[in-house]
Structure 1
């Protein structure tokens, strides 16, 4: 027994010890993300709130979320600009306080469109702070630490979300206001952590700096992107992935409700919690195992796994255990994509433009997400769930092909990242 405990401890430290040596501010951001997501109960339930509580059909839900989501696009660009020119820590604090206020007001009023508008206002300010978070992680880590830094933050996000969706599913029917209140209070706890413990956000200085990250203050964001068409193609590939990934919070809950009626919210909460649990167990393992893979290889493998997991819905309707298996495969693909995406981007763009290009990437992802809801919502409304899953499978296959093309392009355009000479 003691030997098994010793082996377990060694395995634990071997996996989680890889996060040692990072700047202390990254650990604060880790705990801040964990605290915020401990109350992340509304986003996973949004489709069900609009459907079950407000009586909307799939196309109406898509229309509402797309319309309100469009507002986030200019806010995202503004957030990216502010991230590159303002104090990132202070921007995060201000946005968090507005978010907390919106959640607490929403908790005090009945279920209505006013409550949904407050929730979307909160999400707008969270969107505004995201480029600061993404850029701050890159600023505070060395080039070779980038996967571990983003892996740590991603782990924190999902550490908090393990129980939140399940609790949200149980509060959904009779105590939805309490879910809003918990969202607000946990975000407030994250804000306090950042305020008290993050003081120094000076970027890491490296003796041997990646030449592709050299600052270019005189260049505009669009000029840099147009001059690096490989980055634009990567954003298209990432957007196609996002088109499929969005079904986690759109088509899957609609599918669960169609199969299990009111219990669909509870089952979907369990599935979402399983997603968070697999992330916690799988992120350090895959960070270690995939350490020698290139960013593109991780992204391609992630796309394949997500495509396969969602394609399973063509065959597993009504087979509840298989929905859980599908989510495990889906989550492994999600982890690999997370480990590959931001490290890929930050290694190939000027450090001076991290916030702005992060916001542009969010525009691509947002457009794909809301476009996906519009297209898939229309198919569900005028066709069947199976037809919608067929579309998702086809688009996912295109995503795999695009990542394979990107793999060839990237090696030619960024040879130094592959140990080759220009």
Structure 2
């Protein structure tokens, strides 16, 4: 009993109260995330759209998301975390209902575009809020717990959505809108604004006009975002190409649903143990291992025919996902200057939106012109190359994170120039902190 209490304390103890309100909002929001899970089925079976028309609608959702993360990141820094998040959630709830009521293809497409814009505009604000309220030493645990809530909600939503769809597809849109509004209400009442007000010294000042130029001239961060883009291109094949591959093997959509559910189940069961497993270890090594494991999992799909083999591949790449996500999010937090936290979150989220729009297209082209095996073995090759890239770029990232920590701790340093400093060649590489920080939420097909 004492051991269980100690594990719970080590996993979830000592975190700020405002974090738990954010965590609760995440869980509630994801429990109602019905629409995206069943959108393709709704469009083709309920509305009678063709597969290409359904693909267009889902693609427009991704296009709107790319625009939303960019705008949301800017507003998060200039306007504030809470107002950005509230407007985004209210807009998303409204457009959720509008999409459920839309009938012509043009109205459905426009609704998906606007829904993607509002829904993803909330992501940078939420990420910046998490970084604001959680101390640096606790961020690995906090992001892992939030990621656990995302996947618990996703797994439950997939089951609940199936029952809700039997009562009518409109119910999916209504429940999704309600949970989005409840999340906004929790944050409005219990969390409040977390952005630091500007001071006469400039500490905590709003982001300068040259913020975009600052990010675009930050090769260390952009390199990290590029690696996440390639990771997302591989990871999102489980939504687009995996069900097609399983169909070619004679397996039913229900079997695909059961197999892919293993992803959420494993994360819910195992994610709470991951922070203790990777604590104190080099983030570069953890991310490299995650890339290899994920690549192996997707690569083995080339040889899968039976449902149990497909299930095994899902379990393998899920382990890679579990290692990758916590380290990713905390690293984003460390590489983001405080005054540009929202914009940096937005750029990182943008990599997921680009992957969401392009992964199905690229996967389909490779599969059609080169073959199914080439697609999955290519995913394995990308995983290996990413592992090497993480090992090479890791020391520079750690030096950059150390510099930003020192700058944040320095008394009253004006933020007239938040451009990341250029590491000196003679400076030794910093070792990973005793409690590394950083992981990004793999937007759950989100």
What TM-score do the two structures reach when normalised by structure 1?
0.84
Query: CA–CA distance in 1 between the matches of 2:43 and 2:245?
Result: 15
**1:106 and 2:99 matched:** yes
Query: CA–CA distance in 1 between the matches of 2:205 and 2:334?
Result: 12
**1:270 and 2:255 matched:** no
**1:398 and 2:388 matched:** no
Contact 2:294 2:320 in 1 (8 A): yes
Query: CA–CA distance in 2 between the matches of 1:366 and 1:60?
Result: 19
Which of residues 350, 363, 383 in structure 1 aligns to 2:350? 363
- Cα separation, partners in 2 of 1:197 and 1:108, compared to 1, 3 Å: same
Residue correspondence of structure 1 range 30-69 to structure 2 within 5 A? 30-49=23-42, 54=48, 56-57=50-51, 64-69=57-62
Which residue does 1:246 correspond to in 2?
A: 236
Which residue does 1:221 correspond to in 2?
A: 211
Contact 1:47 1:250 in 2 (8 A): no
> Aligned Cα RMSD in Å?
3.2
Contact 1:215 1:351 in 2 (8 A): no
- Once the two structures are superposed, residues 97-148 of structure 1 have per-residue CA deviations (whole angstroms, 9 ceiling, x without a partner) of 2212222333445696644543442222011111100111111122212212
- Cα separation, partners in 2 of 1:117 and 1:298, compared to 1, 3 Å: farther
**1:338 and 2:328 matched:** no
Which residue does 2:273 correspond to in 1?
A: 285
Other structure's SS at 2:280 match: coil
Which of residues 11, 34, 37 in structure 2 aligns to 1:18? 11
Query: How many residue pairs are counted as aligned between the two chains?
Result: 402
* Bigger shift: residues 227-236 or 174-183: 174-183
Which of residues 148, 153, 157 in structure 2 aligns to 1:155? 148
* Shift of residue 344, structure 1, vs aligned partner: 0.9
Query: CA–CA distance in 2 between the matches of 1:259 and 1:52?
Result: 22
Query: CA–CA distance in 2 between the matches of 1:380 and 1:331?
Result: 23
* Shift of residue 395, structure 1, vs aligned partner: 2.7
* Shift of residue 222, structure 1, vs aligned partner: 3.7
Contact 1:96 1:187 in 2 (8 A): yes
Other structure's SS at 1:163 match: helix
* Bigger shift: residues 45-54 or 142-151: 45-54
Which residue does 1:208 correspond to in 2?
A: none
Contact 1:48 1:253 in 2 (8 A): no
Query: CA–CA distance in 2 between the matches of 1:389 and 1:51?
Result: 27
* Bigger shift: residues 340-349 or 78-87: 340-349
Query: CA–CA distance in 2 between the matches of 1:13 and 1:280?
Result: 20
Other structure's SS at 1:297 match: helix
- Cα separation, partners in 2 of 1:97 and 1:226, compared to 1, 3 Å: closer
Other structure's SS at 1:162 match: helix
Query: CA–CA distance in 2 between the matches of 1:413 and 1:89?
Result: 29
Which residue does 2:339 correspond to in 1?
A: 352
What TM-score do the two structures reach when normalised by structure 2?
0.79
Contact 2:29 2:179 in 1 (8 A): yes
* Shift of residue 170, structure 1, vs aligned partner: 5.4
Residue correspondence of structure 1 range 96-175 to structure 2 within 5 A? 96-108=89-101, 114-115=107-108, 117-169=110-162, 175=168
Query: CA–CA distance in 2 between the matches of 1:357 and 1:51?
Result: 37
Query: CA–CA distance in 1 between the matches of 2:344 and 2:13?
Result: 29
- Cα separation, partners in 2 of 1:408 and 1:323, compared to 1, 3 Å: same
Which residue does 1:209 correspond to in 2?
A: none
Which residue does 2:304 correspond to in 1?
A: 316
- Cα separation, partners in 2 of 1:47 and 1:307, compared to 1, 3 Å: farther
Contact 2:57 2:109 in 1 (8 A): no
